[in-house]
Structure 1
Amino acid sequence: MSDSAQESERGQIHAIREAIAEGKNPLSMQGISRWENEVGIDPIINRRVLELDPLPAPADVLAQYPLTAKSRELVAYSRDELRACLYGQDDRLVVIVGPCSIHDPSAALDYAHRLAAMKQELDSELLIIMRVYFEKPRTTVGWKGLINDPDVDGSHNIRKGLLLARKTLIGVLDQGLAAATEFLEPTSPQFIADAVTWGAIGARNTESQIHRQLASGLSMPVGFKNATDGSVKVAIDGCYTAAQRHTFFGIDHRGRAAAVETLGNPDCHVVLRGSSHGPNYDAQSVADAMASIRHEMSEDSAAAHGLIIDAAHGNSGKNEKQEIRVVRDISQRIAAGERNITGIMMESFIEGGNQPAAPLSKLVYGKSITDRCISWPDTEALLHELADAVRSRRWN
């Protein structure tokens, strides 16, 4: 079938589906049967589904864009380094830093090049991992990230987004940087998880059984954020649940429906990110959270040894100037000997602040289209301050 014929048929399918969704009868029963047989429209099963666009199997994507031997070694080694920091065997501070979300792969790799130089300079004090976030959870609606809508125009070319995400991760690894990301869609890890050193379960999903089960089978440490209302208990429960064995619905590397059985992930830990009621990065909040964690979690778990502070989101009111102050407050406490904080997260990009989402041609280069980010010059200064704080803590 020619491209124009395929496009015409797609247009007819959309029209029929929309009519069915509105309760109309666009076809006779004979016509409906024909369309059910030929293009898969079923007004009972898919009344509100406009289209099912098949995606490539994860195995095919990984074969098309494989990790090099050097990148595989980097992922494996950085995961071990991260575990050592989380369990207190390595006294470096974990720093997860980078854009709120990736919308321009070229700008992301530009940022990665800059961050790689800082990693090389400060590696004795800081374990630097770059935020490479492709999926954005939404309270209501909005741009859902590079995988969902790579052209930032509402076209939702997920096939393109998946491939772009994987290529971007490979580019970050090629710079010698480990990568961190949030896992939102339960099937997306099959396409990208082999390139990820640290995973996050966000505040909106930390209570989700699906995401707790997912974390139980992931091969890297995973941070559970406190809920948007401030509850740390749900993050602790997430860590506890993810440490257990589970069996659940999923897909395999060929994209086939599968019953997934996991071993459990003991490397999960709590991330304090503030809430709609205010920040929770202060010393008392950290002490209270650690007391609750140690009451619930085994000493064999990463969570019992310390937590990560997210300096953005509720801890800064999504204001990058306040985020800078939060990082400096934490830096001073680390320098004074604070031991319960094993890591910090910062939202940072080339340009400070943010801008409305739009196609690339209409955007300022290197500036966030989601949350406000700390500028690169300020990021450099903060990384040096954190490294100085770690040196001071070693003397305490």
Structure 2
Amino acid sequence: MNLTTTQHSKSTSDLRVSEFRPLPAPADLRAELPLSDELAAAVSSSRDEIRAVLDGVDDRLLVIVGPCSIHDPDAGLDYARRLAEAAREHRQDLLVVLRAYFEKPRTTVGWKGLINDPHLDGSHDIAGGLHAARRFLLAAGELGLPTATEFLEPISPQYVADLVSWGAIGARTTESQIHRQLVSGLSMPVGFKNGTDGSLQIALDACAAASAPQSFLGIDGGGRAAMVGTAGNPDTHLILRGGSSGPNYDAGHVAAASASLAAKGLNPRVIVDASHANSGKDHRRQAQVALELAAQVESGTTGADLVAGIMLESFLVGGAQAHDSASPGPLTYGQSITDACMDWDTSAGILAVLAGAARRRRSVRGAAA
């Protein structure tokens, strides 16, 4: 039988693809919404400060705090202005970084974040979402706030990563080779969360893999497919977020995680996420977890030094509201449409408590010396 291809051959490509929409090249978006020399210096400086806290050189407590996700940039910037004032107030004791998450992993389906669906209506205007995310990061930077985000899509960092001071890889993607390779080339410190079951091993493996040089498929600044070669990221670290096995923020879990990290030659200091499985996604319980972590930090024990930072989910209005992209309705201003968050007044009080804890940890260290 002659198997040569003819013009009547049936297509075998893109059978389930409904459309392609061209996107601007990363370099074009960066040129349209440029990073100023002053802001570039600020981003570089904040990355150095975060690195120093993670390494224990800077004795402040790193606090990554903000909405579970940014769905309304105006409300997000309203929150950011309040946080910038609190960050200045506590700058001697806390290094405050704004949580600016634009991509949301979904267990099944749902709103995938500002980059994927900025109009919240299922139109998936990704080009508009990339613009909105970059504008938000620029505005937050102008307020003097370092920003943090979770990297979910392997292409989106080309559009926004130059503005980000700290990154995270979520529990569902920590095991992904693609994300480990991505982190190996990112320019900022990046934390890997433990697995959804609470196990640490995949995060330990991820830290080791991302710290090594990697070669993989990606895109360049012009949007062209390219082989990406990286030098490895020396600033990977572990984020404890609890799991189906239960919370893991107490001193015993922190010490055990630190020992596992040290045994593999990795940074033994950890960041603890007070939300997610550590609080059962209950924003009221999250506040209590944060207070318990503050007590742990100020205890003056050896384990107190193992907590480099804390993550908090916080917005203007407490709790969360339902949102359906297929049938969008009016939303409460400043309230999350993903995970429930602490309200601003509660968050401001928690920041003050954490600042006091960091201050007391410092005084205990000084007395011991």
Does TM-score exceed 0.5, indicating one fold? yes
Q: Distance in 1 between matches of 2:76 and 2:41?
A: 22
Q: Which residue of 1 aligns with 2:314?
A: 348
Q: 1:371 aligns with which of 339, 350, 357?
A: 339
Give runs of ≥4 in structure 1 deviating > 3 Å. Answer: 358-361
Q: Which residue of 2 aligns with 1:23?
A: none
Q: Which residue of 2 aligns with 1:168?
A: 136
Q: Distance in 2 between matches of 1:395 and 1:92?
A: 12
Q: Distance in 2 between matches of 1:344 and 1:275?
A: 17
Structure with larger Rg: 1
Residue segments in structure 1 that go unaligned for 5+ positions in a row: 1-28, 34-41
Q: 1:179 aligns with which of 137, 141, 147?
A: 147
> How far apart are 1:297 and its partner, in Å?
2.1
Q: Which residue of 1 aligns with 2:278?
A: 315
Aligned-partner residue type, residue 175 of structure 1: L
Q: 2:215 aligns with which of 221, 242, 247?
A: 247
Q: Distance in 2 between matches of 1:258 and 1:317?
A: 41
Q: 1:85-124 alignment to 2 at 5 Å? A: 85-124=53-92
**Partner SS, residue 305 of structure 2:** coil
> How far apart are 1:162 and its partner, in Å?
0.7
**Partner SS, residue 95 of structure 2:** strand
Q: Which residue of 2 aligns with 1:74?
A: 42
2:93 is aligned with 1:125: yes
Q: Distance in 2 between matches of 1:109 and 1:273?
A: 26
Q: Distance in 2 between matches of 1:377 and 1:358?
A: 28
Q: Which residue of 2 aligns with 1:45?
A: 13
Deviation string, structure 1 residues 46-103 (Cα, Å, up to 9, x no partner): 1000001110000000000001222111100000000110111000000000000000
Q: Which residue of 2 aligns with 1:221?
A: 189
Q: Distance in 1 between matches of 2:166 and 2:292?
A: 24
Q: Distance in 2 between matches of 1:229 and 1:297?
A: 24
Does 273-282 or 343-352 show the bigger shift? 273-282
Q: 1:130-279 alignment to 2 at 5 Å? A: 130-279=98-247
Q: Distance in 2 between matches of 1:72 and 1:326?
A: 35
The answer on whether the counterparts of 2:323 and 2:329 sit within 8 Å (CA) in structure 1 is no
Q: Distance in 1 between matches of 2:313 and 2:118?
A: 20
> How far apart are 1:358 and its partner, in Å?
4.8
Q: Distance in 2 between matches of 1:332 and 1:356?
A: 34
CA RMSD, aligned part only? 1.4
Q: Distance in 1 between matches of 2:357 and 2:241?
A: 21
Q: Distance in 1 between matches of 2:47 and 2:127?
A: 28
Q: Which residue of 2 aligns with 1:62?
A: 30
Q: Distance in 2 between matches of 1:45 and 1:180?
A: 38
Q: Distance in 2 between matches of 1:187 and 1:326?
A: 35
2:252 is aligned with 1:284: yes
Q: Would you tell me which structure has more helix in proportion to its own residues?
A: 1
Check 1:361–1:77 CA distance in 2 against 1; reply closer, same or farther (3 A cut).
farther
Residue segments in structure 2 that go unaligned for 5+ positions in a row: 1-5, 365-369
**Partner SS, residue 97 of structure 1:** strand
Q: 1:336 aligns with which of 299, 314, 317?
A: 299
The answer on whether the counterparts of 2:39 and 2:141 sit within 8 Å (CA) in structure 1 is yes
Give the TM-score normalised by structure 1: 0.87
Q: Distance in 2 between matches of 1:227 and 1:163?
A: 32
> How far apart are 1:328 and its partner, in Å?
0.1
- Identity value in percent: 55
Q: Distance in 2 between matches of 1:133 and 1:208?
A: 19
> How far apart are 1:168 and its partner, in Å?
0.7
Q: Distance in 2 between matches of 1:297 and 1:49?
A: 45
Deviation string, structure 1 residues 124-165 (Cα, Å, up to 9, x no partner): 000000000000001111110000011111111111111101
Q: Distance in 2 between matches of 1:395 and 1:64?
A: 48
Q: Which residue of 2 aligns with 1:25?
A: none
Q: Distance in 1 between matches of 2:123 and 2:52?
A: 43
Q: 1:324 aligns with which of 278, 287, 306?
A: 287
